Amino acid sequence: MLKWAVIFLIVGLVLGALGFGGIGGAFVGIAKILFFIAIALFVIFLVLGLIAGKAVKDAID
């Protein structure tokens, strides 16, 4: 998902540099949304992994 965020950011910056500010801004906005979704998913999976790891460790002991 971060790959798509970077792609949209680059396309948005290129479009903005070429004078297509409206659509370039839309691409940058999409890149922001994708970036924050990726960060939120990372945090959620990090917490779930820590909880699952603790449960496995408790089950082994």
Q: What is the pLDDT of residue 55?
A: 79
Q: What is the pLDDT of residue 60?
A: 79
Q: Two tokens at 17?
A: 């540099």
Quick: pLDDT tens for 7-58: 999 999 999 999 998 999 999 999 999 999 999 999 999 999 999 988 777 7
Question: Domain extents for the chain?
Answer: 2-55
d(CA 52, CA 55): 5
Q: Two tokens at 59?
A: 């089950």
- Counted residue by residue, the chain has a size of 61
Q: Work out the pLDDT band at 61, boundaries 50, 70, 90.
A: low
- SS3 state of residue 18: coil
